[in-house]
Amino acid sequence: MYTLLLLLCIVGFWLFENFYTPSPYSDPDSEAKPPFEKELLPSTTFNAIVTHDFYMLSYSEPHEQAEWVAYRLEKAHLTYEDRERPYFLEDPKVTSKSADWRNYRGSGYDRGHLCPAGDRRFSEFAYNETFYTSNISPQKNAFNSGIWNRLELQVRRWCKRYGTLYVITGGVLEEHLSEIGMEDVDVPEAFFKVVLRKREDNYKVLAFLIPHEESTKPLSEFLIPVDRLETVTGLDFFHGLHDDLEHEIEQRVEVSGWKF
């Protein structure tokens, strides 16, 4: 009898792990603002843009992850609510299906958030929404909990100091990357983050390109011009802005006005 009960428990646990899918994370009463301003969005390689309540993304089916995630961070978002971590779910808005979270199991890589869960603690729905698998990328634990986390914390400090920020982030997706899981999820060799703030027609932009390794170097050492980041990623940032303004903010690294 005990052997049979144990066997049933094992089978039940296996079925739960492999086939249970909770309901999608969406707020039926959502009145959220558009998560990002249209003219600030980067180009999309695969024309697979998904809009959630609190972030947007462009999904790359060949790489089984987002080529970029874009979100707005406001002072009101900076809360320290203790949220229960939900399940990772396939994104119901990705028509080609986003990668199953099980691709990461036993891979040695973290399910690294692109739009950080820590930036979305202000509501249960906003927090849970970051756990769609379209918003994660394989990251080494030392990188995810190290320099990448330090950059996320720095962005929150800037938001607290300067107000609303526009953030675009992702892995550098290219050919012949290492892969994990049965769906061949690509492992980026570098990650980028672009942070923009504006006041009327005054734009200030920082672009970071960080190798997929832990580092103790100052974050400022990973700054590059947006123009160079475009060459590395193949994306066109801020192409919705007037050409003169786009050229002005993309051609150089300008750290004045940013406290590190």
Enzyme catalytic residues:
113
Judge whether 258 and 204 are in contact, CB under 8 Å: yes
**DSSP sequence for 29-64:** T--PPPSS-GGGPPP-SS--EEE-SS-EEEEETTTT
C-alpha distance from residue 171 to each of 80, 135, 151, 160 (Å)? 27, 11, 14, 26
What tokens appear for 65 in the block?
A: 């992850």
Q: Are 205 and 249 in contact (CB under 8 A)?
A: yes
- What secondary structure, in 3-state letters, does 172-189 show? CCCCCCEEECCCCEEECC
